[in-house]
Amino acid sequence: MKALRGGKILTGRTWCEGKALLFDERIRDIVPESAVPSDVESVTEAEGAWVAPGFLDIHVHGVCGADTMDASSASLERIAEALTAHGVTAFCPTTMTMDEPHIDAALQAVHTAMTTPPRRGARVLGAHLEGPFLSRSRLGAQDGTFVRRPDPDFVRRWQRALRLVTFAPEEDEEWRLLDALREAAIVPSLGHSSATYELAMEAFRRGAKSATHLFNGMVPFHHRRPGLSGAALDADVTCELIADGVHTHPAVFRLVLAMKGKDRLVLVSDAMRGSCLGEGTWDLGGQTVTVRGEEATLSDGTIAGSILTLDRALRNFAAETGLPLWEAVRLVSGNPARLLEEKDRGRIEPGCRADFVLLDESWRVRKTFVAGEEVFDDHARRDCTGL
């Protein structure tokens, strides 16, 4: 058993000082610092840092030159390790709309990573399938060549690797895909869709649980035709938000928070291969993406994923909404864990996995622990090329 002391530990919706975490692969107890057993294996000094639950990124395509669609264990390990520098302890590798052999290969790699965790990185929770069951009218950066009608048999074949599926409900004949997702305990999420408010609300009533990157890949909100975005704001479902100031204006952060509250929002990165590598040209789902400044776009100017990281999303959102850390952190920890029904992640409580992150007063990541092992230390920071 190990101990961590000298930090401000976020527990539930508050925090405590003068306490120590006792942990191995799981959190065993939270005790007064004076009560740390003398025979612990090691003691980590938090030096006044905030001790927060590990972050879960449920929508991330890639980072540091690697992408889920590479369909390789090496790429998933690279992503898993790189994400720990940004506080992420678990994630859903996210696919793109490509031909079926490419998607099959990517899902097989994800399944392998689920059963054989990366040596030193965030844990793979299962794939987020973003496409090919989308609307051709709301493709965004997805390749319309490979868009298909929803296929329940595909879901059944790959249910061991899938954790969340984005689909356009207007393409789902007689709700067959939605029913298959619910039967397989895979999270159904609406996105890349031209659905009306009424159709989206019907999908939510039938069991769809979230909306993928709210406002993006949807009909623009109109006061007479609210569309999918209006339904997502009105229904008791979770909304993903890309808080980079590019996909959504910072003022929208405050509006969405006022409408959804702190329990139905999940910040995601939607990061692509070029994230953390600066300006340049990369590929995303077989299409060329150029990164300039804070934007990643196709040649026609279409936004193509992001270069956001989840710790920066947290800082951006908090700065614009005024939420304190102990309130804002649930948007990247407890809320995504609840959506995925990960009952032992996203919280610092006895019995939960010892996945936690140390943040300084500016909310920058100093250390990251996964299953009780230190996997990132800012003092030994390496850039992506050194991973």
Supply the residues annotated as catalytic: 270
Inter-residue contact 118 to 135 (CB < 8 Å): no
Pairing of strands 55-60, 14-16: unpaired
CB atoms within 10 A of CB 375: 22
DSSP lists the bridge partners of residue 377 as 367
Cα torsion through 298, 246, 204, 334, rounded to 10: 120
Give the rounded distance of the alpha carbon of 195 from its chain centre.
24
Q: Indicate if the alpha-carbon torsion angle 321, 322, 325, 326 is positive or negative.
A: negative
User: Tokens 């069991």 identify what position?
Assistant: 207
Start-end of H helices in 147-289: 152-158, 176-183, 197-205, 227-234, 250-260
DSSP label of 133: S
Q: Name the strand (E) or helix (H) holding 338.
A: helix 334-339
Start-end of H helices in 17-166: 73-84, 100-115, 152-158
CA angle 206, 208, 214 (to 5 degrees): 140
DSSP lists the bridge partners of residue 128 as 94, 164
DSSP string, 280-337: EEEEETTEEEEEETTEEE-TTS-B-SB---HHHHHHHHHHHH---HHHHGGGGTHHHH
